[in-house]
Chains A and B, each alone.
Chain A
Amino acid sequence: MTDAAQERTLVIEREMPHPPEKIWRALTEGQLLEQWLMKNDFQPIVGHRFTFRALPVQNWNGVIECEVLAVEPNSRLSYGWGTLGLGTVVTWTLTPTEGGTLLRMEQSGFGPDQTANYKGASYGWKNFIGNLERLLGGLA
């Protein structure tokens, strides 16, 4: 991993007593996805642009602009996740275990290269966040 990819990454892992194939359905079938995440027009096709829609609140329209980046059935799914001008990448990894599946969600802060042109921003959050790290170092 590069330094850029390591910065500000959120990882949540949980082992679930269900086979990867079933979890994959919950991650990729729009109707199922809506039941635990948000309304969406997701399709498991690389390059497909879609939105997640939450209830709008003051100063936020509730729209998350996404683009599918990787689809490896039953093992890995990745999409760009942009809202409020911030682009991140959400990656799901499914690893079979004895009792079911280890599900890992990684939301990486503006790191991976595929987001470089995300939303066409001429001045990327990637650089900004990198510099932010240094700034915040002085705050703690």
Chain B
Amino acid sequence: MQSAANDVFRALADPTRRAIFEEITRHGEQTVHALTRHAGVSQPAVSKHLTVLKRARLVRHRHEGRETHYSAQPQALAPLVDWMSQYAIFWRDRFDQLEELLKRMDK
């Protein structure tokens, strides 16, 4: 898998991060403070999660006064869609191997 896909998968493998990301996509741009109220974890923890999401390009931020606002970049989810097509290739290949095995089992 390409590294962009890995970043997205790893970023979203964590349920708290997934919840934070979805909160932003559902309700639009938000501050760390607002997100902390929803997340049920401490503000430093939320900030850490946001850093991971940022690295995966799933969110971007802008500063306004003393607050940092985060917004979602759903186009970064494209690798997750590719994941389905990668599995399709994987399984077709395995079907081929299964057929080869079935032929060998006759002998």
Contacts and interface: CB of A to CB of B under 8 A. Distances in A.
Q: Do A and B come from one complex?
A: yes
B6 interface: yes
A12 B91 contact: yes
A26 B97 CA distance: 11
A12 B102 contact: no
A78 to B, nearest CB: 15
A22 B92 CA distance: 19
Interface string B73-84: 011011011011
A128 B9 CA distance: 13
Interface string A59-98: 1100000000000000000000000111000000000000
A37 B18 contact: no
Nearest to B15: A123
A35 B1 CA distance: 23
Contact of B102 (A26, A132, A138): A26
Interface residues of B, number: 36
B15 A131 contact: no
Interface in A16-44: 16, 18, 22-23, 25-26, 32, 35-37
A131 B13 contact: no
A124 B91 CA distance: 25
B97 A36 contact: yes
Contacts of B94: 36-37
A123 B9 contact: no
Contacts, number: 90
Contacts of B105: 22, 25-26, 32
Contacts of B91: 10, 12, 105, 107
A10 B76 CA distance: 22
Contacts of A103: 95, 98
A90 B87 CA distance: 11
Query: What 5 pairs across the A-B complex have the smallest Cβ distances?
Result: A85-B13, A123-B15, A36-B97, A36-B98, A59-B6
15 contacts: A12-B92, A16-B102, A26-B98, A35-B101, A36-B100, A85-B10, A86-B13, A107-B87, A123-B16, A123-B18, A132-B77, A135-B25, A135-B74, A135-B77, A139-B74
Interface of B: 1, 3, 6, 9-10, 12-16, 18-19, 22, 25-26, 74-75, 77-78, 80-81, 83-84, 87-88, 91-92, 94-95, 97-102, 105
